[in-house]
Structure 1
Amino acid sequence: MTLLAQITDLHLRPRGLACYRVSDTNMFAERAVHALLALPQRPDAVIVTGDLTDRDDPREYALARTLLGRLPMPVYVLPGNHDSSAGMRQSLHDFPGIVDLEPDQGKIHYTVDAGDLRIVGLDTHVPGQPYGELGSAQISWLDRVLGETERPTVIALHHPPAATGITHMDDIGLRDTEAFAAAVSRHAHVQRILCGHVHRPIVTSFAGTIMTLAPSTAHQIALDFSPTAPAMFNFEPPAYFLHQLGEGGTLTTHLAYIEHFPGPHHFFADDGVTWPGDEGA
C-alpha cells in the first residue's frame, strides 16, 4: 500500500498575525501537522498543493519550513497564487523536488516517486494574478514525462482545471485548461488530479480521469452557487485528503479531519451478546 497525504492552502502569516484578521492559520497548520503525525499508518509522502503563505513573505516561508520540517516523510510543495515561484525557490530551495531543479528556472515542476505512486508536480502561479496558468512549455514537459512510464500517477497543482460551480472562485481558476486536458487525456495511467485553491472538498471528472480538490487546513470558502455570491469564508472543520494506492493499483481518496472528535468507540448490540474484547467489562 502507498499512502499520500495532501494538505493545501495553509495561508501562513508572520507569527502573531491572523489571516484576514480572524483566521489563526498558523495554529490550524500546526494542528494539521499533529494530525499527520498521529495517523496509525505513516504516509509515504506529503504533497502541499499551494498557498503555503498568504503574502509570499520570507517570514511565512520560514514558518512553513519549521512546521513542515517536523514531518518525518518527504514533503513536496508547489506554489499557489498567494505564494510565488521565485519566493518558494529561494526560501524552500532544499525541499524535495525543488532541490533537484536547475537554478533560476521559472516554473517549479518535477516528478517524484512515493512508494508505488508517481507524483507530477506542476506550477500554476502567475505573478501578480489570482488565476492560474501552466504555459505551453510546462504542458509539453508534462506530456513528455507522462509518456515515460505506465506507473500509476497523480498530477498535483494549485488551481483546479475544472469548474466547481462557485463563480467567484471559477473566475480565478486555471486558464489553459484545454491544452492541459489534451495532454492528460493521452495517458490513461493518470489516476488523479490533485488541486487546492477553492478551500472545499470537491470531486469531479476532468480529461478522462478524476479531479479531487482538497479543503484547506484552515478556513473554508462558503458554499453558495449563486452567480453573484460574494467571496466569503467560514470555519467549517479543517481537513485534508489521504490518497491510498491499493495492491490492485486502484487509488482511493479519503477525507480526514484535522480536529479531534469523540471516539473511537466499539460497535455493539444491546442484546446481551458479549463481543471480543468486552470480556470482564
Structure 2
Amino acid sequence: MIRLFHVSDVHFGREDKAAVAWFDATVHAERPDAIIMTGDLTMRAKSSEFAAASAWLEGLKRPVTVEVGNHDLPLFNLFARFFRPYRRYLKLESMIEKPLEIRGVTVVPMKTTTRFQLRNWSKGSVSDRSLERAVAGVGDADTSGLTLVACHHPLIEAGTQASARTHGGANALAALAAAGADAVLSGHVHDPFDLTREVGGRTVRLIGAGTLSSRVRESRPSFNELRIEGRALEVVHRVMD
C-alpha cells in the first residue's frame, strides 16, 4: 500500500507550533512514501518565513512536492510580486511544482495562483499555460496507477466556510478529467473535504487538506493521509487531538 501525506496552509509566521510538531512526529514515526504540500507555506512571503519553511520540509526527510499558494507571493512589495515573485523560494526550488512518480501513483502539479487580477487577489485562477502543462502531465502518466493533480485552490466550491472562486476552475476540471486524472488535491480553504464528481463520464475525487496554522476556521489543525492500493484510494482526515 502507498501512503501519502497531503498537507497545506502551514503559514509560517502564523503557524501553530504544536500542530507542526505533531505533523513532524507523525511523519518521522510513520514514514509516508511522499508528502504533497498544496501551498501557503508562508504568511507574508518573508525571507525569514521561507527559511523556516525550507528547514521544516528538508527536516521531514521524505520526498516532497510543493505548490505555490497566494500567501507565498509578496503582498506589499509590488515590484517583487510582478517581476520576481519566487525569488525567496530559491532554497525550495527543487521541490516547487515537482512531479512525483511513485510506483502505482503519479502526482502532477498545476499552478492556480496569479500575480494580478481585477478582483480579490487571493482567489484562484488557472491559466491556459498551467492547464496545458497539467493536462500533458496527466496524459503522460502510467494509466495502470492513479493520477493525482496537486494545486492550491479548489477548482470548484466544496461547501466550506471559505471560498476559492477559481477562475477557469470548472473548465480545468473537465480538461483534467478528460485527460485521465483520478483526483485533484488542494488547500486554501483551511477545512478538509472529500467530494466525488461525475465529469464527462468519469468520476473524479476532489480532496482538500486543512491547515497547520493558527488561522483555523471550522476544523482543528489537520492533514490528509491518502492510502492507495491498486486503483483504490482511501482518504483519512488526520485531526490533531
* TM-score category of the 2 structures, normalised to the smaller one: 0.7 to 0.9
Q: Structure 2: which 5+ residue stretches go unaligned?
A: 74-84
Deviation readout 1:66-106 (Å, 9 max, x if unpaired): 112111211111111100361464231233xx3xxxxxxxx
Partner in structure 2 of residue 122 of structure 1: 110
Partner in structure 2 of residue 8 of structure 1: 8
Contact kept? 1:30, 1:67, Cα under 8 Å: no
Counterparts of 2:192 and 2:231, CA distance in 1: 23
Moved more, 195-204 or 146-155: 146-155
Contact kept? 2:160, 2:191, Cα under 8 Å: no
Tell me if 1:242 matches 2:225: yes
Counterparts of 1:180 and 1:67, CA distance in 2: 32
Aligned length: 220
TM-score by length of 2: 0.82
Identity %: 24
SS at 2:123's partner residue? Answer: coil
Counterparts of 2:215 and 2:103, CA distance in 1: 31
Contact kept? 1:132, 1:173, Cα under 8 Å: yes
Partner in structure 1 of residue 91 of structure 2: 91
Counterparts of 1:155 and 1:5, CA distance in 2: 14
Counterparts of 1:30 and 1:65, CA distance in 2: 15
1:90 maps to a residue whose letter is L
SS at 1:186's partner residue? Answer: helix
Tell me the C-alpha RMSD between the 2 structures. Answer: 2.1
Q: 1:78 to 1:173 in 2, by over 3 A?
A: same
Partner in structure 1 of residue 140 of structure 2: 148
Contact kept? 1:155, 1:194, Cα under 8 Å: yes
1:217 maps to a residue whose letter is L
TM-score by length of 1: 0.72
Counterparts of 2:89 and 2:216, CA distance in 1: 28
Partner in structure 2 of residue 218 of structure 1: 213
Q: 1:237 to 1:181 in 2, by over 3 A?
A: closer
Partner in structure 1 of residue 183 of structure 2: 192
Counterparts of 2:17 and 2:178, CA distance in 1: 40
Q: 1:65 to 1:209 in 2, by over 3 A?
A: same
- More helix, by proportion: 2
Contact kept? 1:58, 1:87, Cα under 8 Å: no
Counterparts of 2:98 and 2:61, CA distance in 1: 21
2:127 maps to a residue whose letter is G
1:116 maps to a residue whose letter is G
Q: 1:91 to 1:70 in 2, by over 3 A?
A: closer
Q: Which has the higher contact order (CA 8 A, sep 6+)?
A: 2
Q: 1:34 to 1:251 in 2, by over 3 A?
A: same
Partner in structure 2 of residue 25 of structure 1: 16
Q: Structure 1: which 5+ residue stretches go unaligned?
A: 14-18, 99-108, 224-235, 260-281
Counterparts of 1:174 and 1:110, CA distance in 2: 22
Partner in structure 2 of residue 270 of structure 1: none
